[in-house]
């Protein structure tokens, strides 16, 4: 037994090193922030970049795992630091996961891949053109600070997505890396979400008050729209949908279902109806495929069972019943009315949007409120000409990835198709192009587009923990 453990540690020393360093960085940031040391922000930013550099050298799957973990927990650490060190409105600490994506992007520039590895990325290049256009408009309007932040949030996930296309075509099993990362993340995020709903910690209460997000609920027990360790209910919904699909179809059924059951409850408590529809669309894709039909039927039964268990709590039952009722009475729902008013505003000021307001525009919230949804954001930020061009490129990229994912009739291909559909469903009402949501969208597009036939994969192993991959 001792010899087997020694062999396991020797073989997986690189993976253990990176994951241990990631845990140490998060722990150090939490400790410094909780004890009121403002340098915690810079420690986290610099440490995330260093971890990204280390993981890049050790392989694409390991870096993808690291990135998923950092994006999942960075907002939580930011809130802890804000509580003890003062609320920092710009949230520059959230740039840490984005900076962790920079080393692979630099590697892509320093070592350009052969042309065949980049075939089919025309949609991504078109989106890159649209981003450059938006940044130029921002610069002309003297929105320098805003454009730097927006440029990082929009362009880095896109470049990382191109890198994932290349690495997937080189034979790296990035889909398994996604599955392993989410198997680590989902139980923690799910349990914390339930705790947050029943009694939100002080750092979450502070965030809810100072972020001025009207749709996030009230900072009191049983009135929170759960966002767990993420930034918002929308971000949480997107992560949980992709994570649940990645985990539940790639592994043995029962133990993963038990591990991610809290995540399902948190998805319900986010009250993010777009994510509910997104999950339904993904399950429908899996249900229509013979390769995943049986597993999907079992999962639907399990998900219904978890939902009924959540409804057994009086507080949760009241919250969820009221939210489900709005699905059939949208005219009386405040959120639906706000979104309809945004479209009315768009029509009224269409003459001001020919060239767009830039990426982003500080005055946009005065007209549109939250300005949710990739569709309306694209038109407002990029204008009536380039905005639709960007939307076309996003749909084009999704379509190409959907087709590429179905190049082999196996479970993995169906799962990737389900993820693509799930994210596209979120586009009209949620943001899928920047920040953590942009990261999710572009890695799904990249992994799906880079899928190779099973026999064409290289022998390079996925650096994941064996006891996790066998679940």
Measured CA distances, 130 to 144, 328, 372, 464 (Å): 17, 37, 19, 36
CA gap 461, 456 in Å, rounded = 14
Taking residues 3-31, what's their average pLDDT?
A: 75
Q: Which residue has the higher pLDDT, 431 or 186?
A: 186
pLDDT of amino acid 18: 82
The residue with tokens 């479209």 is: 343
DSSP string, 95-148: HHHHHHTHHHHHHHHHSPPPGGGGTT-HHHHHHHHHHHHHHHHHHHTT-HHHHH
Taking residues 333-339, what's their average pLDDT?
A: 65
Q: Where are the domains of the chain?
A: 15-112, 123-172+342-456, 182-328
Average pLDDT over the chain, rounded to whole?
Answer: 86
pTM metric for this prediction: 0.90
Under the banding of pLDDT at 50, 70 and 90, the label for residue 470 is very low
pLDDT of amino acid 78: 96
pLDDT of amino acid 8: 46
CA gap 436, 426 in Å, rounded = 14
CA gap 61, 449 in Å, rounded = 16
Q: 220-271, pLDDT tens digit by residue?
A: 999 999 999 999 999 999 999 999 999 998 767 677 888 899 999 999 999 9
Neighbouring C-beta atoms of residue 252, cutoff 10 Å: 9
Whether the pLDDT of residue 206 is over 60: the answer is yes
């Amino acid at each position: 037994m001792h010899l087997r453990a020694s062999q396991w540690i020797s073989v997986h020393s690189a993976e253990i090193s990176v994951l241990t360093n990631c845990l140490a960085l998060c722990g150090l940031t939490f400790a410094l922030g909780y004890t009121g040391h403002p340098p915690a922000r810079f420690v986290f930013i610099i440490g995330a970049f260093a971890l990204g550099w280390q993981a890049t050298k050790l392989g694409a799957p390991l870096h993808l795992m690291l990135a998923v973990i950092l994006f999942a927990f960075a907002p939580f650490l930011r809130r802890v630091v804000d509580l003890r060190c003062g609320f920092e409105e710009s949230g520059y600490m959230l740039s840490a996961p984005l900076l962790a994506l920079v080393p692979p992007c630099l590697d892509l520039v320093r070592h350009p891949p052969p042309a065949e590895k980049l075939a089919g990325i025309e949609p991504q290049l078109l989106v890159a053109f649209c981003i450059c256009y938006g940044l130029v408009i921002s610069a002309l309007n003297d929105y320098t600070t805003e454009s730097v932040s927006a440029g990082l949030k929009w362009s880095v996930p896109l470049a990382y997505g191109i890198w994932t296309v290349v690495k997937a075509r080189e034979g790296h099993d990035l889909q398994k890396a996604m599955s392993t990362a989410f198997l680590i993340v989902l139980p923690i995020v799910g349990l914390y979400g339930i705790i947050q709903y029943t009694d939100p910690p002080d750092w979450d209460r502070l965030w809810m008050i100072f972020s001025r997000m009207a749709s996030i609920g009230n900072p009191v027990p049983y009135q929170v729209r759960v966002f767990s360790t993420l930034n918002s209910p929308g971000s949480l919904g997107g992560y949980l949908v992709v994570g649940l699909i990645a985990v539940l179809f790639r592994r043995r059924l029962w133990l993963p279902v038990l591990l991610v059951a809290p995540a399902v409850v948190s998805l319900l408590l986010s009250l993010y109806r777009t994510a509910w529809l997104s999950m339904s669309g993904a399950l429908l894709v899996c249900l229509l495929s013979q390769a995943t039909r049986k597993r999907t039927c079992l999962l639907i039964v399990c998900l219904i069972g978890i939902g009924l268990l959540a409804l057994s709590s009086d507080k949760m039952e009241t919250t969820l019943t009221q939210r489900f009722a709005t699905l059939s009475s949208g005219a009386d729902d405040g959120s639906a009315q706000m979104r309809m008013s945004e479209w009315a505003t768009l029509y009224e000021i269409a003459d001001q949007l020919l060239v767009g307001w830039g990426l982003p525009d500080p005055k946009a919230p005065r007209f549109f409120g939250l300005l949710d949804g990739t569709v309306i954001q694209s038109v407002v930020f990029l204008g009536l000409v380039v905005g639709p061009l960007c939307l076309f490129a996003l749909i084009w990229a999704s379509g190409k990835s959907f087709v590429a994912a179905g190049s082999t009739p196996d479970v993995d291909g169906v799962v990737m198709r389900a993820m693509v559909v799930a994210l596209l469903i979120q586009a009209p009402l949620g943001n899928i192009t920047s920040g953590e949501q942009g990261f999710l969208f572009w890695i799904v597009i990249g992994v799906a587009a880079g899928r190779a036939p099973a026999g064409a994969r290289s022998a390079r192993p996925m650096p994941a923990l064996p006891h996790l991959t066998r679940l």
